[in-house]
């Protein structure tokens, strides 16, 4: 069972590096930085984090094939891998941030992800590539240096069945945002297995990763209140294709979410705060990781039994404490999690 940290480039780079160093000391095994427009540039931040750490894997979670051509991603991730001494891992997804500002219209995201991974892997192997795909094209090019590794792990982040099947078919792992319920974890496992089977792969070779906003505090109710606005945004935007939310009674009425339909992505949770009275603890527990240490421990163990191999947390903290409070709390409970998982 893996424990992974997600950070945004919304704080000074020196603070990102120190937080990553702290997470490494607390037992985290991977540190991700979001390629979120228009915060600090992701590969610059990852380089600084690489120099501040010695053990954790590092990568963007996630970059996309529309705002950044996958050939440039191959170049960047190979460079990071060299700087980090073979610790790079690549997270790819359909993306959304910055698309409106950049005038980007994503085309066939699942196909784009498959074609991107094929191109990136060929370039990392040192091949000269000339390809015209349905979405991705690259004209008779190659990397002008030799990566230190040809097989950098690649994971796909998707909340939709087509993207999850693509992960099963071609990736080393599948990330799902807000995959905090046992029912959703099982649905993710089924879609990834479906994609793997179609490609003749063993589904067990694809790691299943739940990406969850997290808060751990002595007062479980307070911890849930900290992450509640992020759930309001998740459900208010309505962009995630959650396979089991409707059946579990975890969706919101369309008349409640309609006024937020055109809220700018960059405004974060603010436009969705009027939905807070509708966000119950059932919603919070289904889409985040929040509560006391005992509650969070039990929650993670349940997800592990449902097939989740790793947890990516974006740590939040209660009562003006720094995010490090939740990082430390998760590190403290992880031995119990690992023991139960074993």
Asked if residue 20 is part of any domain, the answer here is yes
pLDDT of residue 175: 98
The answer as to whether 115 is a domain residue is yes
User: How far is Cα 23 from Cα 199, in angstroms, rounded to an integer?
Assistant: 36
CA–CA separation, 332 and 50 (whole Å): 24
Asked if the structure places residue 234 within a domain, the reply is no
Measured in degrees and rounded to the nearest 5, phi and psi for residue 334 equal -65, -35
Model pLDDT, residue 41? 98
Distances 146 to 75, 79, 149 between C-alpha atoms, Å: 10, 10, 8
- Tokens (6 digits) for 230: 């992020």
Residue 334: CATH number of its domain: 3.20.20.30
- 240 in a structural domain: no
Cβ density class 65-91: b for 16+ within 10 Å, e for less: bbbbebbebbbbbbbbbbbbeebbbbb
Residue at 239 is within a domain = no
User: Does 142 fall in a domain?
Assistant: yes
Q: Is 231 exposed, middle or buried (0-12, 13-18, 19+ CB in 10 A)?
A: buried
**Tokens representing residue 116 in the block:** 């991107």
Whole-model pTM?
A: 0.96
- Cβ-in-10-Å burial (0-12, 13-18, 19+) of 239 comes to exposed
**What is the domain range of residue 139?**
2-218+290-341
How far is it, in rounded angstroms, from Cα 236 to Cα 342?
38
Kindly state whether residue 59 falls inside one of the protein's structural domains. Answer: yes
Count: domains in the chain: 1
Q: Which pLDDT does position 342 carry in this prediction?
A: 77
pLDDT mean by block of 10 residues, the chain; 342 residues: 97 98 98 96 98 98 97 98 98 93 94 98 98 97 98 97 98 98 98 98 98 97 98 90 94 94 87 97 98 98 97 95 96 94 78
The verdict on residue 147 lying in a domain is: yes
């Amino acid at each position: 069972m893996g424990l992974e940290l997600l950070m945004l480039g919304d704080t000074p780079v020196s603070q990102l590096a120190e937080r990553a160093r702290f997470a490494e000391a607390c037992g985290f095994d991977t540190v991700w930085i979001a390629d979120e427009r228009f915060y600090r540039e992701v590969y610059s931040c990852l380089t600084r984090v690489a120099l501040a750490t010695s053990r954790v894997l590092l990568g963007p979670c996630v970059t996309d094939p529309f705002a950044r051509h996958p050939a440039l991603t191959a170049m960047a991730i190979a460079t990071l891998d060299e700087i980090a001494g073979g610790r790079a891992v690549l997270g790819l997804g359909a993306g959304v941030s910055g698309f409106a500002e950049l005038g980007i219209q994503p085309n066939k995201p699942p196909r784009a992800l498959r074609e991107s991974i094929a191109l990136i892997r060929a370039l990392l192997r040192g091949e000269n590539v000339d390809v015209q795909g349905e979405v991705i094209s690259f004209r008779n090019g190659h990397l002008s240096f030799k990566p230190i590794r040809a097989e950098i792990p690649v994971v796909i982040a998707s909340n939709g069945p087509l993207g999850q099947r693509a992960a099963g078919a071609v990736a080393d792992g599948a990330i799902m945002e807000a995959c905090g319920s046992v029912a959703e974890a099982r649905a993710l496992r089924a879609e990834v297995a479906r994609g793997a089977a179609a490609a003749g792969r063993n589904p067990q070779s694809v790691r299943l990763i739940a990406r969850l906003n997290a808060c751990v505090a002595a007062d479980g109710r307070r911890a849930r209140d900290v992450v509640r606005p992020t759930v309001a945004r998740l459900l208010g935007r309505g962009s995630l294709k959650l396979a089991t939310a409707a059946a579990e009674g975890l969706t919101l009425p369309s008349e409640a979410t309609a006024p937020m339909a055109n809220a700018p992505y960059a405004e974060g949770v603010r436009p969705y705060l009027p939905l807070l009275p509708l966000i119950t603890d059932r919603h919070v527990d289904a889409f985040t990781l929040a509560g006391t240490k005992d509650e969070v421990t039990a929650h993670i163990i349940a997800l592990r039994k449902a097939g989740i191999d790793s947890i990516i947390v974006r740590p939040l903290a209660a009562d003006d404490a720094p995010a490090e409070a939740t990082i430390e709390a998760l590190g403290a409970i992880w031995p119990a999690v690992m023991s139960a998982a074993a």
